[in-house]
Structure 1
Amino acid sequence: MRVILKRPWLSTIIWAILTVIFVVTMPDINKIVRLKGEPKIGQEYPFQVAAALEKEYQGVPKDKKLSTVAIVFYDKNGLSDEDIVAIKRIIYGLNSNREKYNIENISTHFKNPELKNYYVSGNNKVILASIQADKSKREIIEIRDDIYKFIDSVRKPKSLEVYLTGGDLITQDFVKASEDGVKKTDVITIVFIIIVLVLVFRSPVTPIVSLLTVGVSFLISLSIVGHIADKFNFPINTFTRTFIVVSLFGIGTDYNLLIISRFREELANGKDVDNAIITTFKTAGKTVVFSCLAVFTGFAAFAAASFNFFRAMSAISVSVLVLLLVLLTLVPAVLKIFGKNLLWPFNKEIQHTHSRLWEAAARLSTKYPYVVLTTVILILIPFLLSVRGDLSFNTLNELSEKYKSVKGFNIISKNFSSGKTFPVTIYLKSNKSLATSDALSDIEKITEVLSKQKGIKDVYSVTRPQGEIIKQFTLSNQADTVIKGIDSLRDGLLKVNNAIETINKNLNMSTKEFDVQKLITGISQLENGVYELKISLEKLNGGFEQGLNGSKKIYDGLNKLSIGSSKLSEGFKEFYSEYTRSINKVKRELQGFDVNQIELLLTGINTANNNLKALSNKYPEISKDINYIMASEILSKIETEANKFAPKLKEFSSEYEKISAQINEADKAQKLISNSIDSIASASKQLADAHGKVLSGYYQIDKGQKQIISGVNLMYSKLQEFDKQKEQILKKVDELQTGFTSLKSALLQISDALNKMANSMQNMKSYFEGYKTTNIFYVPPEAIKSSSFKKALDSYMNKNRTITKIILILDTNPYTNKAIDIVDNVEKVLNNSLEFINTKFVSVGVGGISSSNHDLRSIYFKDFKTLRLIMIISIFILMFLISRSIFNAAIMVIIVFADYYLALSITEMIFKGIFKYEALNWAVPFFTFVVFLALGIDYSVFLLIRFYEYRNLELSEALRLTSANIGHVVTSAVIILAGTFAAMLPSGILTLMQVSICVVIGLVLLAFFLLPFLYNTLMRIKRDII
């Protein structure tokens, strides 16, 4: 100290040089915060696992960092055709310049119409596009700004608004808002400190000295923190700089106030400048050292945190060490340089100020300790019990709609479900292919369980690509298909049976409608007559005389023959017409009877039975169901009947073919008979005509005679030819009639079997009705390979089919506590579901904003609980070392804790009760705890060290003098520190505003209530106890 006092300018110059060096080399703190300032969750948490699986799912290298950005196209009047054209133009431009804008891919409904419901709002006011941006080489805000520039360059309607939003963009806007808020805080803090110090010391010089020393500490420490964050990845966040400013300007000014007040007090006691400085640093300097150690210990404890957000606060401990060095080396030099001029213009009336409030509180507390203690406890209890501890992780509360990311998000929330924009995505990874029937069934089981959870609006997965289960692969749908198949089979059986009955009826009619034997008998008689005619004609050649008489007889015979032939021809034609009609009727009925249809019915029955058995193998639990057992038995009986029926079907098929051939042969014979009779009739007519000519002219006898003989011979030959065919015709007709009889018998047996099968199928149908409400999911192997199902696989599985995703759409804002609670339940249900399926997943991750906040909440409570314990123990040990009393140390820790919870309770009432916020921001309890334990403990140190200066006096007097002398300093210090925190109110950042109000309330309660009353009361009661 004496070295510094001898060469005060040397110390000042050294610090000036150091300040310049550190300022010149200071890295861009804001850029470092943007790149490294996001809260990072451990790799073992579901959100980080999901992030890694998402990269693997997309085939993206692990070192590549992707950010999902939503482009919001909005027209409050509804999107017009002109809007759509402009939107497509923007999408096309971005897609064509993906490398320029660091875009990995763009997803819209224009190329995937099935996604229209996902990307187009129901009121047709909003269209969304999803971008995967690569932020590995450029900051996301740079990519965002370039995209905005391109969008602004595209011609579009004035009514069309375009916004970019997403988790990273909202976070970056929060960082920007924090930077702007800190700038406001810096200016307000400096102005406030100047005003307070001028009022306290009534000198314009004192604030300048105080700000000069604190400013040097701030610039150097900020530079150091920046360097270690940049070079060694030391954690840093948006609040680090803010709390460095608040802490250094707050406690730094407090320490300067303590030192200058003691310096003024020593000068007032008549000491010269050097001795006053030496005494000041022996007393107040000691207080500053212990106080700085308390603050350093509090902030340094955060280095043990696993959460980078907490560890970032340990950077403040670096600032505290720099401040301590400045206070011990630069401040003495400045005091020496200014001397009594430090208090100009009132340096001639230097005097020390006592605190009447603290002195009165000390008197009351030591005189009525139990009354005061009871009163304090009664005041504290309602507030302490009202603390709920609810926390909000909603970043959107921090920002107003002047930020485009927030504006875009709010548009989505109003026109879509906000949960659709920021869904929860579950990634499941297996070592084996998931494109199997078993794996898909397990995935659907998980999907089904998740869809039934409270807070889940929609679920999308490979088994529900459109948000609804693929019904064709559900057991209920398959049961319905079986029922329809049974109905179809039964209808087919009944139709076939009706056809068989019709055939039997027609066969009975056909066999009675014609008699071939009568026809053959008539033709035989005709043949005998023609033979006699032939003999007569041969005798005619014996003599002309006899020929004339014979000619007359012949003429009469020929007339009879002609008439008989004509009648025979007409009769046969009538018979042939009836015969043809009957045969054609039989043919039509037989053709209507499709033998293949029967075979298809039998095949369908066998297939149904096989499918039923396969289903029981896949789902053993079904085989125990009574409906399944009865259906299986019925179907087995049907199959047995069908197997018995199969040989009869083959026999009938063979008989059917024979009968068809016989009918064709009979048809040919009938045509032959018809032609022969027509020939006979024609020949008879020719003979009659020829003999008529004999009577008209004898000179033509010779010629006519030859014609007659020729005609008779022709007719006789035709009749002989028919005579040879008649036996064959009779045989064919007999075979046909026999075939008809066999056919009738076979058809009756078939009809009986079909009736039994139809009745059994009706019974089986009623049993399958019981499965129509079952949701068991099964995709046959052949369906997995189909082109239609491949679309679902491509949309929800990676290329090698080892990773699948399930998308959950929440029914609430994804930033709210409700969303976090939903995720908490989802993770529990998911882990439980995985225990009851056969497919083994080696890695499971849950992604999305809600999942990130859920993991953040988990690690927050885990780390905060540990760090709180570490800080309490550290501060308690330090206070014990200072006071050398466990009781005194315990008193100080209790007072600070009571102050912390009291201030937190009141702040919670203000923001939840008055401003209607969901809860305090999650960082508020943490930050305020740090402030109260690390900074608030300062005033306890001030009090303890001053008290030990009067330890030889009677306790009540020592407490009175301590309060009177240190009260004014503590009150002024509290006002300064409270003022520096109050300077955060205009920042516009909700977290800073809540911290500000909580700290101000706590500091006021500490300075004007807890320390002056509770401390003195407990110290007085301690004497009575001990």
Structure 2
Amino acid sequence: MKWMTKNHVWGLLGWLIVLVAAIMMTPDTGKLVADKGQIKIPSTYQSVRATQMQKKWGSDQKNTTAVVAVFSNGDDKLTPAQNAAIERTIDKLKSDKSKYQIKGITTAQDSATAKQQLVSKDKTTQLVQLNVKLSKTHTRSLIRDQLTKAVKTSGVKTYVTGSDILNQDFSDATQAGVRKTEVIAAIFIFVVLLLVFRSPITPIISLLTVAVSGLVSISVVTNLVQHFNFPFSNFTQVFIIIVLFGIGTDYNILLYNQFRQEMAHGKNPHDATASAIKIGGRTILYSGLSVLIGMSVLAFAKFSLYRSAVGIAVGVVVLLAVLLTLNPFFMTVLGPNMFWPVRKSAGEGDSKLWHALGSTAMIRPILTLVVMAIVMVPLALMGHGTLDYDNTVEIADNVPAKRGFQVVQKHFSKGTAEPTTIYIQSDHRLNNEQSLQIIDRLTKQLQNSAGVKTVLSASQPGGSAIKALYVRNQMATVTSGLTKSQQGLDKINSGLGSAKQQLDGANISGGVDSANQLASGSQQVATGTSTLSSGINQVTQGVNELNAQLQNSTSGSQQAQLQQLTTALPQLNQAISSLNDQVNAASTGSTSGVTNSLTSIGSSASDIGSQLGAIQNAMKGISTPNVNAGQLVAAMQGQGANLNAQQQQVVTATIDAALKQQSQASAGLQQTLAGSLSKIGADAQNIGSSDQSVASQLQSLQGSTQQLQQAVSQLNTASNQVLPASATAITQLSGGLSQLSSSTNQLASAMGTINGNTGQLVSGANQVASGNQEMASKLSQLGGQTASLSNGLGTATDGLSKISAGSGQANKYLSGLQHASAAETYYIPAAQLKSKTFAPVLKTYFSPDRKITKMTVILKDDPSSQTAMKRLPRLEGIVRGALKGTSMNNAKVAFGGSTSQTNDINEMAAGDFSRTAIIMLAGIFIALMFVTHSLVQPIAIEGTLLIAYSGATNIVHWLVKAFLGQSMLTWNTPFFAFIMLVSLGVDYSIFLMAKYREFLHQPISTDAKMLKATTIIGTVVISAGIILSGTFAALIPSGVMTLIQVALVVIVGILLLVILIPIIMPAVMKITYPTPESRLNDDQK
């Protein structure tokens, strides 16, 4: 037990247990990066507010990621066969939407607008936009792998890209870079330590202790991330590994050199270990404390990426614990064998380079500092230029997502792949005509802004104006309609004049005379039929009496009566013939003349009725133009007209007065014309009714006359048949009474029939006479109404002439307005807003509650470029200026998309960099004060670090431009290079000043103490610098541009520090602690 304690076995066992537990409990680092390692921007920034607004769009876009499928035929146009194959692939995607968890898909086949945006102008490339569900189980890597296979199309180059896909590729590249770095760094460190200590044992022990600290640190940090949301990013793991391998090896070199030096003084392994831990351990703690402070202050950073570097502080704590508790076991147990096969423990040799530099600086310290300032300050102040915010530079060119992104930029525009989205949130619904006018006006202003390729909005969903929805085009339709209306009015006016002429030429008086003659003749017929009826009644009575006498007659009286009957029958026959002639004469009188006149009048009345109908229809189509002076003034201002309030009132009053005068004139004219037409229509209706009544009665009269004629004709025929037969019967009466009785019975029956027909004849004749009298009266009234109708038509022609002239003036005014700037005003009818054709626009550009609208802005520049970011403030100014003073004055505005997010990162990173750097330098300054017990020395040390950092950054800027083809440093290179170089580079100054303080009690001058410390520690610092530089050089094969550039800055910075520290620090010490009598020679060492 005592042996185990003496030889630090408990430390070994303890770290073995911790190591096993750490390995078993380490979460999946790749999954942590995907879930919690993404850059987080505070909610006060625009891109985050835009994301919050975007989430209100509905379930189709909530918790989704945007993916672009790219189909390309290189520089050649897509063939019909290729397009057909692409359509089949798209159909397969649509049918497998649930399989791939696709929430939305937009293709070129959806609409003409979509085709315009998703098919390149050179017809070589076609895009498909996808919204895919993103969750803990449906990760970005899974989405990328699934869709990459799903979009494969025969004969076409296919890619899957998008910002999240590119970020996932960047994360994968970083993880792969970490694995490469670990292997390369381990090999490099082993080789360097083998050369330094000339032993294979020492490198193995050093790597073992550093590896334990690295594994435990990664486990602790990742568990803190998983359970407590500890800051984490793509770079956390790789920088923990690099820092621990770098400074851990440096600390081991310092500790092992001290241990070897103590054994060279004759101490046993246990005592040498204790002395090494006491002396070297103190220096390690001082250096580790400065690094710990520098990394810990990153917890105060607001930017999540910068704050994620605080995990390095956790690693430093673990590293210090491992080195100071695990190394003693190997040193005490192995002793001199730790440096096998070398047996001689002579300690570390002196550095001739640092001795030469230090001695030269101390001879003329002020001149030395002036020369260094002349050389280094301009280099430090030259600046490294603008930074590159394009994350695609972090990814190798052979990665499919990056190749797809480059294809989109080549065949569309640089901004097409990552457009900027402007969200506008109002407190009221925006799907109305007034709001759409504001949106359209804003769309035009944005389109006219420099650097903007196109803008898609609710008013211009295809990126270009819809002409049919602008007042200019609508006025063209109105003016065309007014022209046609004016032509129609002229035609109606001509027709009314013609109708008036026809009406005036109609012979109404001739028709009235003919009707009077017809009425007189019909009256005579009625009188004749009455006389005829009386005669027939007498004959009938006589026949009946004869029949009675024949039945009861005596021979004497019968002969007298027969003789009398024989005489009366011819007279009856003559009277019937005369009646028949009168009826025929009456029926063929002036009926045809009256009928012709009535037909002519009816035709004229029909023409007049048709023309009046046309006039009424034309009147319905004529309306006063719907022009609003306020809208015209607003449109003039929207087109750039600068009008003050007084000028607006004058313009508005002038337009309103002109419109009111025109409206009153048109209304009065329409009222006059409407009254005239109404009176004319009433008269024409009365004439038509009278004409129809007369015609109807005439037809009835003609029918009755025909019945009368037929009855008289039958009577005449019957009398011609019966009377001769009766005469014969009477002549033959003497032949027998029986024959006479039979004949008289037949005569009585025939006369009864005739008597019945004459009743109908009288009734019909009276009806004809009455009808003809009424017809004559109606025709007389028709003459007066026709005169009134003619006057009304004259008034109508005058009114139509005035309306035609007014329409011409209105058309001329609107034609002039059509070419004014006010005609550019957007106007959409309310019915079209609710139509099915506008429904896709509402769904795409408005939130479900219609209170948020979005506008897609495609820039000409690279979305991640400084040029694109500088355009955002100007675009924001345009948006707020366009909304000011409108119904959307209080609307919230937020810019989303890659450019907005990059701009927010730029703004936040720049401010946070300065703030974090000050805190870090302040923390390190305090630590240096405790180490050096001075105020001047910390200032000199931090000044040296800053000069080395600035100079190294500028040199690397030149190097990457010359050898890597990158014109800019990546945006996060300066920050990570700063924290690495400052926090790690300060160790070398601490090493020097700690060694100096070891000689404080020696009886030599300050100059000699400083030069001695510089000479001794130089070898350690150079070795440590080589180790740290080599460790960071292991980042170069990772292929991640940020890691490459950070590595280069650290390497160049360490090289500068190795030269500057032995020059500046001795010169400062010489000036601070002058010792004129001191002489620098070898004896004073």
TM-score by shorter chain over 0.5? yes
Moved more, 415-424 or 181-190: 415-424
Measure how far apart 1:978 and its partner are.
Answer: 1.0
Deviation at 1:259, TM superposition (A): 2.6
Q: Check 1:502–1:914 CA distance in 2 against 1; reply closer, same or farther (3 A cut).
A: farther
Give 1:640's match in structure 2, choosing from 659, 663, 668. Answer: 668
Higher deviation after alignment, 1015-1024 or 65-74: 1015-1024
Kept in 2, the 8 Å contact 1:565–1:684? The answer is no
Code of the residue aligned with 2:793 in structure 1: it is L
1:892 to 931, 935, 941: 941
Matched, 1:260 2:220: no
Indicate whether 1:987 and 2:986 are aligned: no
Q: Secondary structure at the match of 2:232?
A: coil
Q: Secondary structure at the match of 2:344?
A: helix
Task: Say yes or no: does 1:67 pair with 2:113.
Answer: no
Q: Give 1:709's aligned residue.
A: none
Contact kept, 8 Å, 2:456 with 2:462, in 1: the verdict is: yes
Would you say the 8 A contact 1:71–1:131 is kept in 2?
no
Please report how far the alpha carbon of residue 300 of structure 1 lies from its aligned counterpart in structure 2 after TM superposition. Answer: 0.4
Unaligned runs of 5+ in 2: 536-563, 571-576, 638-647, 718-726, 729-750, 752-759, 1077-1085
Per the alignment, residue 732 of structure 2 pairs with none
Output one character per residue of 1:232-291: Cα deviation in whole Å (capped at 9) or x when no partner. 121222211111111111111112222333444455566665555455444433322111
Q: Any conservation in 2 of the 1:956–1:1020 contact (CA below 8 Å)?
A: yes
List per-residue Cα deviations over 1:279-306 (Å, max 9, x = no partner): 5444433322111111001110111122
Amino acid at match of 2:30: N
Q: d(CA) in 2 for partners of 1:301 and 1:500?
A: 98
Of residues 606, 612, 615 in structure 2, which corresponds to 1:593?
612
What amino acid is the match of 2:493? Answer: N
| Residues 384-430 of structure 1, C-alpha deviations (whole Å, 9 max, x = no match) | 34315422221211112433322333333344445444333344445
Equivalent runs, 1:298-377 vs 2, <5 Å = 298-348=294-344, 350=346, 352-377=348-373
| C-alpha contact (below 8 Å) 1:434/1:440 kept by paired residues | yes
Q: How far 1:640 sits from its partner (Å)?
A: 3.3
Measure, in 1, the Cα distance between the counterparts of 2:925 and 2:23.
37
> Corresponding residue for 1:942?
991
CA offset digits 1:170-197 (Å, max 9, x no partner): 2121111111111111111111112222
Alignment-mate amino acid for residue 974 of structure 1: G
1:487-520 deviation digits (Å, cap 9, x = unpaired): 4543443332222222222223335996754796
Q: Which moved further from structure 2: 725-734 or 965-974?
A: 725-734
Q: Secondary structure at the match of 1:805?
A: strand
Pair 1:614–1:725, CA change in 2 (3 A): farther
Does the CA contact (< 8 Å) of 2:941 and 2:989 recur in 1?
yes
Identity among equivalent positions (%) equals: 28
The equivalent residue for 2:141 is 141
Partner Cα separation in structure 1 for residue 154 and residue 475 of structure 2 = 56
Which of 1006, 1011, 1015 is 2:1057 aligned to?
Answer: 1006
1:765 — aligned with what? Answer: 811
Please tell me whether the aligned partners of residues 85 and 154 of structure 2 are also in contact (alpha carbons under 8 angstroms).
no
Task: For residue 1002 of structure 1, report the CA deviation from its aligned partner.
Answer: 1.5
Structure 2 residue corresponding to 1:412, chosen from 408, 413, 418: 408
Residues 1:916 and 1:677: Cα distance change in structure 2 (over 3 Å): farther
Query: Where in structure 2 are the equivalents of 1:130-169 lying within 5 Å?
Result: 130-147=130-147, 151=150, 158-169=154-165
Deviates more, 1:776-785 or 1:806-815: 776-785
Larger CA deviation: 778-787 vs 28-37: 778-787
* Alignment partner of 1:794 out of 843, 852, 860: 843
> 2:957 is matched with which residue?
908
Distance between the aligned counterparts of 1:81 and 1:783, measured in 2?
35
8 Å CA contact 1:394–1:815 kept in 2: the answer is yes
The CA distance in 1 between the partners of 2:1074 and 2:432, in whole Å, is 80
Q: 1:28 to 1:325 in 2, by over 3 A?
A: same
User: What TM-score does the superposition give when structure 1 sets the normalisation length?
Assistant: 0.84
1:735 aligns with 2:735: no
Superposed displacement of residue 635, structure 1: 2.4
Q: 2: distance between equivalents of 1:938 and 1:778?
A: 71
SS of the residue corresponding to residue 203 of structure 1 reads coil
Conserved 8 A contact 2:351-2:1015: yes
Matching residue's letter, 2:781: E
The verdict on how the C-alpha distance between 1:498 and 1:332 changes in structure 2, with shifts beyond 3 A counting, is same
Q: Report deviation, 1:664.
A: 3.6
1:146, distance to aligned residue in structure 2 (A): 4.5
Mapped contact 1:68–1:133 kept (Cα < 8 A): no
Deviation string for 1:859-883 (max 9, x for gaps)? Answer: 2223222111111211122222222
The 1:721/1:248 distance shift into structure 2, 3 A limit, reads: closer
Aligned partner of 1:882 in structure 2 is: 931
Alpha-carbon contact 2:365-2:1067 (below 8 Å) kept: yes
Aligned counterpart, 2:95: 92
Shift in Å, 1:358? 2.1
1:742: how far off?
1.6
- Contact 1:126 1:415 survives alignment (8 Å): no
How does 1:689-838 map onto structure 2 within 5 Å? 728-769=774-815, 770=817, 773-774=821-822, 775-777=824-826, 779=828, 781-831=830-880, 833-838=882-887
Q: Name the larger-Rg structure.
A: 2
Counterpart Cα distance in 1 of 2:4 and 2:1015: 32
Q: Which stretch shifts more, 815-824 or 976-985? A: 815-824
Do the aligned partners of 1:527 and 1:716 also contact (CA within 8 Å) in 2? no
- CA offsets, 1:502-549, max 9 Å, x none? 2222223335996754796799899999999x99xx9xxx9x9xxx9x
- CA RMSD, aligned part only? 5.0
How many angstroms apart in 2 are the aligned matches of 1:721 and 1:429?
86
Q: CA deviation at 1:66?
A: 2.7
Aligned pairs, how many?
Answer: 1003
> Which structure 1 segments of 5+ residues have no match?
549-554, 690-698, 701-705, 707-713
Tell me whether 38-47 or 312-321 shows the greater mean CA deviation: 38-47
- Deviations along 1:96-135, one digit per CA (max 9) or x if unpaired, are x3xxx44445454566676344445551643414132231
- Counterpart residue type for residue 865 of structure 1: S
Equivalent residues of 1:34, 1:172 under 8 A apart? yes
Residues 583-621 of structure 1: CA deviation (Å, up to 9, x unaligned) = 5255324313316x5376367526x45x74896899999
**What's the offset of the Cα at 1:668?**
5.7
Aligned pair in 2 of structure 1 residues 737, 139: CA closer, same or farther (>3 Å)?
same
Secondary structure of the residue aligned to 1:505 is helix
**Using the alignment, how far apart are the partners of 1:389 and 1:129 within structure 2?**
36
Q: 2:168 aligns with which of 156, 172, 195?
A: 172
Kindly tell me: are residues 648 and 932 of structure 1, through their superposed partners in 2, closer, same or farther at Cα, counting changes over 3 Å?
Answer: same
Quote the Cα distance in structure 1 between the aligned partners of 2:119 and 2:848. Answer: 28
Q: Which 10-residue stretch deviates more, 780-789 or 303-312?
A: 780-789
- Offset at residue 720 of structure 1 (A): 10
Shift of 1:316: 0.5
Bigger mean CA deviation after superposition, 444-453 or 503-512: 444-453
1:649 aligns with 2:689: no
| Structure 1 counterpart SS, 2:69 | strand
Other structure's SS at 1:593 match: helix
**Paired position in structure 2 for 1:245:** 241
Return closer, same or farther for 1:562/1:34 CA change in 2, 3 Å cut-off.
Answer: closer
Superposed, which structure 2 residues align to 1:497-516 within 5 Å? 497-511=493-507
- Partner Cα distance (1:345, 1:474) in 2: 92
Query: Partners of 1:620 and 1:455 in 2: how far apart?
Result: 26
Report Cα offsets for 1:787-828 as digits up to 9, x if no partner.
443343233334443444333333344344444334444445
Q: Is 2:258–2:347's contact at 8 Å kept on the other side of the alignment?
A: no
Secondary structure of 1:238's counterpart equals: coil
SS at 1:408's partner residue?
Answer: helix
Distance between the aligned counterparts of 1:172 and 1:418, measured in 2? Answer: 21
